Structure 1
Amino acid sequence: MESTTSKKSLLKKLEVPHEKDAVYELTPWINRDIVPLPPSRRTWGPWSFVGFWLVTGINISGWTSASALLALGLNVWQAMLTVIIGNIIVGFAVALNGLPGGEWHIGFPIINRYVWGLYGSFFPLLMRILLSFVWYGAQTWFGGQSIKVVIGAIWPSFLTMKNTLPEGTAMETNDCIAVILFWVLSLPLLAVPPELYKVPFRYATASITIAAFALFIWALAKQGGGGPLLSDPSTFLGIDKVPKGKELGWVMVLGVTTNVGSISAGIMNQSDYSRFARKPGDQVLSQIICVPIMSILTALVGIICTSCAAGFFPDEELLWEPYKLLIAIQTHGGPGARAAVFFAGCAFVVSQWGINISGNGVSGGIDLSGVFPKYINIRRGAFITACVGLAINPWQLLNTANRFITVLSSFAVFLGPATGLMITDYVVVRRRKVRLSHLYMPTQESIYWNTYGINFRAVFAWINGVWPLMPGFIAAVQNKTTSEGWTHMYYLSWLAGFFISGTTYIILCKIWPLEGLGEVDDKDVFGTFTEITKGDSTSYGSGESGENVIASQMVAPVLGRKAGVEDGEDKSSWKGKF
Structure 2
Amino acid sequence: MASATAFPVQRGELTGVGLEPGLYNADLAPVPLERRDWTWVNMSTVWMGMVHNVVAYETAAGLMALGMNAWQAIAATAIAYFVLFFAMWFNAVSGTRYGLPFCVLIRSSFGPRGAQLPVLVRGFVAIFWFAVQGYAGSEAIDAILGTLWQPWTTFTLSILGLSLHGWISVALFWLLHGWIVSHGVHRIRNFELVAGPLVIIVGVMATIWGLRVGHGLGPLFSQPSHLAGSKGWMIFATGVTGLLGTWCTFAVNIPDLSRFVRSERDQVLGQLIGLPITAVVFTLMSVIVTSATVIVFGKPIWDPVALLLAIGHPAILIFGGITIVVATLSVNVAANIMPACYDLVNLFPRRLNFGSAGIAVLVIGLLFFPWLWFKNADSIFKVLSAIGGVLGPVTGIMLADYFGLRHQHYDVPDLYLYDGRYAASGGWNYAGITAFVIGGLAALSGLFVPVLASLYAFSWFIGVAVGAIVYLTLSRASSTA
* Shared fold per TM-score greater than 0.5: yes
How far apart are 1:426 and its partner, in Å? 0.6
Aligned mate of 1:458, from 418, 432, 456: 432
Match of 1:479 in 2: none
Match of 2:16 in 1: 24
* Equivalent position SS for 1:410: helix
What CA distance in whole angstroms lies between the structure 1 residues aligned with 2:209 and 2:222? 20
How far apart are 1:156 and its partner, in Å? 5.3
What CA distance in whole angstroms lies between the structure 1 residues aligned with 2:21 and 2:475? 31
How far apart are 1:106 and its partner, in Å? 0.3
Aligned mate of 2:422, from 448, 454, 472: 448
> What is the CA deviation profile of residues 11-32 of structure 1, one whole-angstrom value per residue up to 9, with x for unaligned ones?
xxxxxxxxxx982258121101
Q: For 1:288-299, what aligned pairs fall within 5 Å after superposition?
A: 288-299=272-283
Aligned mate of 2:301, from 319, 328, 331: 319
What CA distance in whole angstroms lies between the structure 2 residues aligned with 1:371 and 1:288? 32
Match of 2:393 in 1: 417
Match of 1:494 in 2: 460
* Equivalent position SS for 1:31: coil
How far apart are 1:196 and its partner, in Å? 4.0
How far apart are 1:493 and its partner, in Å? 0.8
What CA distance in whole angstroms lies between the structure 1 residues aligned with 2:187 and 2:457? 40
Q: For 1:141-540, what aligned pairs fall within 5 Å after superposition?
A: 141-155=135-149, 158=152, 161=154, 163-165=156-158, 169=161, 171-232=162-223, 242-314=226-298, 318-329=300-311, 331=312, 337-400=313-376, 402-443=378-419, 446-474=420-448, 483=450, 485-515=451-481
What CA distance in whole angstroms lies between the structure 2 residues aligned with 1:227 and 1:87? 25
How far apart are 1:150 and its partner, in Å? 2.8
> What is the CA deviation profile of residues 199-248 of structure 1, one whole-angstrom value per residue up to 9, with x for unaligned ones?
322222232111111111112212323344333378xxxxxxx4310001
Aligned length: 467
What CA distance in whole angstroms lies between the structure 2 residues aligned with 1:490 and 1:371? 32
Aligned mate of 1:104, from 98, 102, 109: 98
Match of 1:553 in 2: none
> What is the CA deviation profile of residues 142-201 of structure 1, one whole-angstrom value per residue up to 9, with x for unaligned ones?
11022123324433564x5463327x92x5444333222211222121212213433322
Q: Is the 8 A contact 1:102 1:281 kept in 2?
A: no
* Equivalent position SS for 1:263: helix
How far apart are 1:513 and its partner, in Å? 2.4
Indicate the larger mover: 434-443 or 64-73: 64-73
How far apart are 1:417 and its partner, in Å? 0.7
Q: For 1:43-58, what aligned pairs fall within 5 Å after superposition?
A: 43-58=37-52
Q: Is the 8 A contact 1:50 1:290 kept in 2?
A: yes
What CA distance in whole angstroms lies between the structure 2 residues aligned with 1:437 and 1:42? 20
Q: Is the 8 A contact 1:144 1:182 kept in 2?
A: yes
Larger Rg computed on CA atoms:
1
What CA distance in whole angstroms lies between the structure 2 residues aligned with 1:319 and 1:179? 24
What CA distance in whole angstroms lies between the structure 2 residues aligned with 1:432 and 1:508? 19
Give TM-score, length-normalised by structure 2. 0.92
Q: Is the 8 A contact 1:43 1:195 kept in 2?
A: no
Give TM-score, length-normalised by structure 1. 0.77
Match of 2:85 in 1: 91
**Aligned residues with identical type, % of pairs:** 27
> What is the CA deviation profile of residues 540-564 of structure 1, one whole-angstrom value per residue up to 9, with x for unaligned ones?
xxxxxxxxxxxxxxxxxxxxxxxxx
What CA distance in whole angstroms lies between the structure 2 residues aligned with 1:419 and 1:121? 13
How far apart are 1:281 and its partner, in Å? 3.1
* Equivalent position SS for 1:186: helix
Aligned mate of 2:124, from 115, 119, 130: 130
How far apart are 1:503 and its partner, in Å? 1.8
Q: 5+ residue gaps in structure 1?
A: 1-20, 235-241, 332-336, 475-481, 516-578
1:467–1:202 distance in 2 versus 1, CA, 3 Å: closer
What amino acid does structure 1 have at the position aligned with 2:156?
N
1:298–1:156 distance in 2 versus 1, CA, 3 Å: farther
What CA distance in whole angstroms lies between the structure 1 residues aligned with 2:424 and 2:131? 37
* Equivalent position SS for 1:243: coil
Indicate the larger mover: 293-302 or 490-499: 293-302
How far apart are 1:97 and its partner, in Å? 0.9
What CA distance in whole angstroms lies between the structure 2 residues aligned with 1:326 and 1:85? 31
Q: Is the 8 A contact 2:88 2:251 kept in 1?
A: yes
What CA distance in whole angstroms lies between the structure 2 residues aligned with 1:176 and 1:222? 37
What CA distance in whole angstroms lies between the structure 2 residues aligned with 1:434 and 1:377? 24
Q: Is the 8 A contact 1:413 1:469 kept in 2?
A: yes
* Equivalent position SS for 1:33: coil
> What is the CA deviation profile of residues 68-94 of structure 1, one whole-angstrom value per residue up to 9, with x for unaligned ones?
211212222112111110000011111
Q: Is the 8 A contact 1:190 1:382 kept in 2?
A: yes
Greater helix percent: which structure? 2
What CA distance in whole angstroms lies between the structure 1 residues aligned with 2:443 and 2:15? 46
Cα RMSD, aligned residues only: 2.1
How far apart are 1:510 and its partner, in Å? 3.0
What amino acid does structure 2 have at the position aligned with 1:466?
G
What amino acid does structure 2 have at the position aligned with 1:391?
L
What CA distance in whole angstroms lies between the structure 2 residues aligned with 1:148 and 1:196? 26
What CA distance in whole angstroms lies between the structure 1 residues aligned with 2:30 and 2:309? 46
What amino acid does structure 1 have at the position aligned with 2:89?
A
> What is the CA deviation profile of residues 41-72 of structure 1, one whole-angstrom value per residue up to 9, with x for unaligned ones?
32211111011011111111111112221121
